[in-house]
Structure 1
Amino acid sequence: MEEIIEQELQQAYLKLVRDTNFDRLELALNEPNIFSILSIEHMEIRHSNFLGWLLNPRESHGLNDLFLKRFLREIFSDEKVNGISALHAESLNFQKVEILREWKSIDLLLKFPEIVICIENKVHSKDHSNQLARYKEIVREEFPEPEFKNVFIYLTPYGDASSQEQESYAFFSYQIIIDILDRILEVYKELIPAQSIIYIRDYIKSLKRNLMATDTTNDLAKEIYRNHQKLLDFIFENKPDYMDDFSKMIEQFLLENGYLIGSKGKGIVRFISKELKAIVPAYSESNGWTEKEAFMFELDFRNKKKLMFKATGAPAPSNPIYKNRLAEILKGLEGARKTTEIWQVFISEETSLELKKLALEDPEKLKTRLEGFWKKILPLIQRVESTMLSHKEELLALKKEVQVKRRLDLF
């Protein structure tokens, strides 16, 4: 990237904030949208839920069969849908349709007395593990022809082709949904409940902005970038990594409280007390942790919506004697989880945490939340530590056995 000096940076910033497109974009992005508020604009299952709501003529949206009928017209007009025409959509009994969600793992299933429509909805992911073939087989077994006419739809933002079953599935874009809803609102908005109009408009905006990149805000963003590329590239190169920043905050907090930092990981901080460090070995073989420790406390925020504490025993690839004995010792701990997994989480606790929001808006509040959670988990940490230290001599002897094996493995 082209170098930018401080004076140029200040001038470029002033030019950006004086750009009226910048004001327009900021105003548009600050408009409330229920899908953005709930952070579900990229969640496939939520899109399927909302589509199921729109498609059901008996739901509370007040559209009756307006959306369903127009949606079926588009589907039936596809050349892969044989034996049914767009006109057929007018003669169906819409009061007898069943809209099924996640029926036998199928995203959406529309069941009429004589037609069954299987919809696989993909927002960002692709089809996998022969799922389209499985769904086709399930539908044909449950609703055999000629009693039922089976229709298979692969729905994606841009109407992309599936990786398999391309002869059986018709490919449709979310643009069809946008077009149908736009037209319904244009013609029938006086007949639709006001709250439904708000939801539908928010959904259209979310589809255009977040899936299709065809909203006016997308155009504004592109124009702003073209006019201020140098500044924006510089900002992007130096944008904060809130997960790394939170890791550093946790590590500093732990060090100040006398703990040692263990194996590093993105979105997770591992730590241990000095007393436990003396009796916990490192294995000779890789076990998924960089330092190969047998046991660690963890603060895990990879989920980004919650912060989880765990007391974890790591895999012991070829010498499980320490791991097995530690599991026996800790299984009697108050609140201990029954664990037989390769990774043994002996005890855990969690709290909700809007990490990104707090990290960008109020780092001090984030630190306060960390301190509050620490007060909650500190008794758990002390309980685990006390239990392990009550077997100090035994665990220390087992550690020495592991270390002997490790030295032998090095030769």
Structure 2
Amino acid sequence: MDEKLREICRKIYAEHQDALDLIFENRPDNLSLMSELYVEALAELANEKNEEIKIISTSKTMIRFQTKRLNQLFPDLPENFPGGWNNHKPYGIELYNKSESISGRIKIAFTGKIDPDGRQRLERILTEVDGGRKRKDTWEWWGTGNWKIAGINNKFVEDIFIIVAEEGREKIVSKIKNNLEKTLIQIDQFVDRIEGIAENTRLK
């Protein structure tokens, strides 16, 4: 950049400092936009599925939600056990958005801060679900399953502003929703295993 251009930039900044500072502080970024698109896609799915999906929390780096079916298997914790998230939720389906490469990955996370009997039963269930892989006795969080929403990759996230501008936000949300729905079908099949193991564990 030559000195003349630098001088022009300094002059513009001096005349519009407050407005430019505000723009810089609130400038959008790819991961923030992806988070918004995920939330919109989940909200549309929840509406279509008669609230079988419930969003628990949202942030730039993660969206946590629950499903009606998993809620039946793992209902809210009692009043005296707020759990690891302090919301009485024993689990959350976590959609990660920490980076371009991680964006679109999903796991099911369980909190270990529950009543001792429930924790022992949960350990037995998750150990079997994970093929016998055990955790330390002091575990606080247990993540299981590993899915990735189709169509979400580094290039898609890096180019998301261009893609939305060219194709339209509504169309992109619809694409994410359709691929997310397919992922949820895979998760539901995984829950079949959890349900069968949980039923056997309940009888022991």
TM-score w.r.t. structure 1 length? 0.36
The match for 2:193 is 387
- Answering whether residue 62 of structure 2 is matched by residue 274 of structure 1, we say no
1:226 aligns with 2:9: no
Kept in 2, the 8 Å contact 1:261–1:269? The answer is yes
Residue 371 of structure 1: how far off its partner (Å)? 4.5
2:111 equivalent among 308, 314, 325:
314
Distance 2:202 2:12 in 1: 63
Residues 1:357 and 2:163 aligned together: no
Q: Does the aligned pair in 2 maintain the 1:314–1:343 contact within 8 Å?
A: yes
The aligned amino acid for 1:279 is L
**Residue 381 of structure 1: how far off its partner (Å):** 0.8
Q: 1:263 to 1:232 in 2, by over 3 A?
A: closer
- Give distance in 2, aligned partners of 1:302 and 1:245: 12
Gaps of 5+ in 1: 1-23, 26-214, 398-411
Q: What is the correspondence of 1:8-407 to structure 2 with a 5 Å cutoff? A: 222-236=10-24, 238-240=26-28, 242-257=30-45, 258=49, 259-283=53-77, 284-307=80-103, 308-316=105-113, 319-333=115-129, 338-340=133-135, 341-350=139-148, 352-353=153-154, 357-363=158-164, 364=169, 367=173, 370-371=176-177, 374=180, 377-390=183-196
Q: Deviations over 1:3-41 (max 9, x none)?
A: xxxxxxxxxxxxxxxxxxxxx79xxxxxxxxxxxxxxxx
CA distance in 1, matches of 2:181, 2:132: 21
User: Which residues of structure 2 form unaligned runs of 5+?
Assistant: none
* Residue deviations 1:195-220 (CA, integer Å, cap 9, x gap): xxxxxxxxxxxxxxxxxxxx998877
Q: Deviations over 1:88-130 (max 9, x none)?
A: xxxxxxxxxxxxxxxxxxxxxxxxxxxxxxxxxxxxxxxxxxx
Q: Distance in 2 between matches of 1:305 and 1:216?
A: 40
Question: Which residue does the alignment assign to 1:196?
Answer: none
- SS of the equivalent of 1:252 reads helix
- One-letter amino acid of the counterpart of residue 299, structure 1: L
CA root-mean-square deviation? 4.1
3-state SS of the aligned residue for 1:311?
strand
Deviation at 1:300, TM superposition (A): 0.7
Equivalents in 2 of 1:326, 1:217: separation in Å?
A: 64
- Largest Rg, 1 or 2: 1
Q: Helix, strand or coil: the match of 2:73?
A: coil
Aligned residue identity for 1:387: R
Distance 2:33 2:74 in 1: 28
* 1:152-181 Cα deviation digits (max 9, x unpaired): xxxxxxxxxxxxxxxxxxxxxxxxxxxxxx
Quick one: percent identity of the two aligned structures? 21
Q: Distance in 1 between matches of 2:5 and 2:113?
A: 53
**SS of corresponding position for 1:305:** coil
Counterpart-to-counterpart distance in 2, 1:216 and 1:298:
50
